[in-house]
Amino acid sequence: MPRLRHFYGLNHHYVTTSTYRRARLFDSDRFKRKFITTLADLRGELGFRIVGYVLMPEHCHLLLWPSDGANPTQIMQRLEERTAKFILKNLRQNLQYRWCQRMLARVTLPPTVHHHAHSRVGQRRFYDMNMWSEKKPLEKLNFMHQNPVKCCLVEKPGDWPWSSWRFYFRPLPRSQTRPGGSAPPTKKGRLTGAEACPGRRHGSSRALTRSL
């Protein structure tokens, strides 16, 4: 199979990555929290922007604006390495639970795969879509926020806490807003709405471009 070619530039990138064998590893809140905090830590280290995201039980969608110091491949490699190490360690340390046994068996590589690692948390490849128009990022942002509803995980997008929906639609307390309606600076390890859009709404292209 030919290798996927990625074309990088300072524009929006819509990234989709899945777990190995579609294992529902992110049914675990602990693993979801680790993924989100690691993503936030990497943003601080590498300087890229997170316009939107949604983390599902077996896959994740990210809408990114890369930095000069990190392209999507470098971002995803570090994200998956750190997350995988944490997940595998926790699964192996909690084999008294049947769910951990099932998940570890699910991500264990078959004997036909010759690799130094015995397990794999994520798929080897990820999907990266370059977006140059103003319309396409908005479409993907809406798709991500509706994903948990379409998968029957919740009834409304705001009921799913593992996405950027609340950073666009949940009003900030007055004590947390600054003159002009912008949000306070982002704290390490936390994703905030200012990253995606000072305007708080993604009904127009201006909402996305103002933050860039």
Say what percent of the chain tops pLDDT 90. Answer: 65
CB 183 within 8 A of CB 23: no
Largest CA distance in the chain: 60
**Structure-block tokens of residue 209:** 């471009």
Q: What is the pLDDT of residues 179-192, one digit of tens each?
A: 343 333 444 445 54
Please tell me the total number of residues recorded for the chain in this structure. 212
**Structure-block tokens of residue 174:** 């007055």
Q: Quick one: angle between helices 72-93 and 29-46, nearest 10? A: 150
The pLDDT value recorded for residue 171 is 65
Picking from 86-100, 117-131, 174-188, which range would have the lowest pLDDT averaged per residue?
Answer: 174-188
Query: What is the C-alpha to C-alpha distance for residues 41 and 151, in angstroms, rounded to an integer?
Result: 28
The pLDDT value recorded for residue 118 is 86
Q: Can you list the domains of the chain with their CATH numbers?
A: 12-209 (3.30.70.1290)
Mean pLDDT of 150-164: 96
Q: How confident is the model at residue 115 (pLDDT cuts 50, 70, 90)?
A: low
Mean pLDDT of 98-108: 97
Mean pLDDT of 7-36: 91
